[in-house]
Amino acid sequence: MLLGHYNYWIVIVLMMIGFYIVIAHGNLIKKIVGLSIFQTSVFIFYISMAKIDGGTAPILAEGIEQYSNPLPHVLILTAIVVGIATTALGLALAVRIKEAYGSIEEEEIQNKDNLDC
Amino acid sequence: MLVGVAFAIIWMKDLLSISMLSGIYGLLSASFFVAMDAVDVAFTEASVGAGVSTLLMLVAITMTGRSEHPVRHKPLLALAVVFVTGSLLVYGTWDMPYFGSAEAPIHQHVAPRYINDSMQEIGVPNIVTSVLASYRAFDTFGEVVVIFTAGIGVLALLSVVRRQEDIEKIDSFNNSMHEQHLVLRIVAKMLIPFIMLFAFYVQFHGDFGPGGGFQAGVIFAAAIFLYTMLFGMSTAYRVINQSFMQILAASGVLLYGSVGVISLLNGKEFFDYSVLSSNPVTGQHWGIFLVELGVGLTVASVMVIIFFNFAGRSENSPPPVSKDS
């Protein structure tokens, strides 16, 4: 059963890809994309925990005994919509920064700030 | 599952066509969720991840420029940090329960009660809906408020005050641009009513099949986005009143909250729907119906507000000039 944890490993790989994008890239929009990959990896983590072998979707029907766990589904369902709302807020901030600084590259913004002082 | 990872890796080295890739990524994770039996979640992810978020990202990119600087700060250090964190996390998984095992601790606490008793207590076959709108209604209320707040935030950051001459200027610009796509417009005209109808179906059928306020709100908003993209901002502004959308967003939250207050006033706990009708199960039906309606209203109108403010800004302002301060 060495492979019994593979779902967690995939989640970790995805999460680390998102994390790398957030810390290594200077472009603010790219950072937001990285954050959303990170976010999705958490979604996948929750959903994969809810899965039961031989279970079906949690909609009650006759003749079915085993359902997957509905609670993580609820949590993630709302988290996705909240995620898009907060991503939109982040993009709005990026747009405003572009208008104020003429750039969304982290380093150029910092240079401009340093010049101003 | 692995395909998703492969796509995510491709992503790291390209330019800002990444927004397209993020759409593909959204669709892939949606199909993953279907494979994991989470149909409601897949529904949401398909409409949000593959549709709305890609669109918003594209609109944002038109305003901020699409090329990315190749410079990265200290990629080796970042890689090292990522690698160490990753291996620590992998180490942490040794104690985790195996994938798909029914004995995992997560399946032992409240989940059996939801699965076994929700039919008697709530009377709704879709367990996800009954947990979302009844057992954990307070939670969901908080999330709706977060969405509403994000909408207000975007409004505060990007809202544009339009002057009359601006609108006329855009008008002439729009008409020349949008008249070319005749086929698209006719196809869209046929499609949009069906998309909206489907949104309503998802909204009101959420008790029995996958669906509910969150998904319906996003799908409904997608229909309006499609309309706006093909017929231009100014036409859409004439059809959909902005302040009306704002009132709608607020009234969705208000509707949700007042359902809770009604049960408080009747001497029950917050969001105890059994007071809404003489029969507790019918009361639950009413409660879920109202709450989902509130969610749908808020989500749809907040999405429309966000999109209009982004798009309105990009059509309104020429490429921004950096101000010397």
Position B325 scores a pLDDT of 36
Given a cut of 50, the residues of chain A with pLDDT beneath it are: none
Position B7 scores a pLDDT of 59
Position B205 scores a pLDDT of 80
Is residue B129 within 8 Å of residue B288, measured between CB atoms? yes
Q: What is the pTM of this model?
A: 0.81
Position B319 scores a pLDDT of 46
Domain range spanning residue A17? 2-52+67-116
Given a cut of 70, the residues of chain B with pLDDT beneath it are: 1-17, 66-73, 160-181, 314-325
Nearest-by-CA chain A residue for B26? A40
A58, part of any domain:
no
Position B95 scores a pLDDT of 75
A18, part of any domain:
yes
> What integer best gives the mean pLDDT of chain A?
81
A104, part of any domain:
yes
B59-108, pLDDT tens digit by residue?
A: 887 777 766 666 666 778 888 888 888 888 888 877 777 777 777 777 77
Q: Could you identify the residue written with the tokens 């997560």?
A: B106
Rounded CA gap, B105 and B107, in Å?
5
Tokens for B297, please give them.
């209203």
Q: What is the separation of C-alpha B242 from the centre of its chain, rounded to a whole number of angstroms?
A: 19
Question: Which residues from A are below 8 Å from B153, CB to CB?
Answer: 89, 92
Least CB–CB distance from A30: residue in B68, B86, B96: B68
Domain boundaries, chain B: 1-66, 126-319
Least CB–CB distance from B9: residue in A17, A57, A94: A17
Structurally, chain A folds into a number of domains equal to: 1
CB distance A80–B32 less than 8 Å?
no
Position B291 scores a pLDDT of 85
Which residues contact residue B300 at a Cβ distance below 8 angstroms, ignoring those fewer than 6 apart?
Answer: B199, B216, B217, B218, B220, B221, B248
Position B276 scores a pLDDT of 72
Q: Output the CA–CA distances (angstroms, integers) from residue B245 to B145, B187, B208, B256, B307, in the order listed.
A: 16, 26, 29, 17, 12
Question: Which residues from B are below 8 Å from A95, CB to CB?
Answer: 60, 63-64, 157-158, 310, 313
Position B191 scores a pLDDT of 85
A57, part of any domain:
no
A44, part of any domain:
yes
Contacts of range A22-27, beta carbons closer than 8 Å, 24 or more positions apart:
A23/B73, A23/B78, A23/B81, A23/B82, A24/B72, A24/B73, A24/B74, A24/B75, A24/B78, A24/B79, A25/B68, A25/B72, A26/A105, A26/A106, A26/A107, A26/B69, A26/B71, A26/B72, A26/B73, A27/A104, A27/A105, A27/A106, A27/B68, A27/B69
A35, part of any domain:
yes
Say which CATH number the domain at A90 has. 1.10.287.3510
Task: Please give, rounded to a whole number of angstroms, the shortest distance from the CA of B5 to a CA of chain A.
Answer: 6
Q: Is the dihedral of CA B313, B316, B321, B322 positive or negative?
A: negative
Rounded CA gap, B27 and B24, in Å?
5
Position B320 scores a pLDDT of 44
ipTM score of complex: 0.82
Least CB–CB distance from B5: residue in A13, A43, A100: A13
Rounded CA gap, B276 and B289, in Å?
11
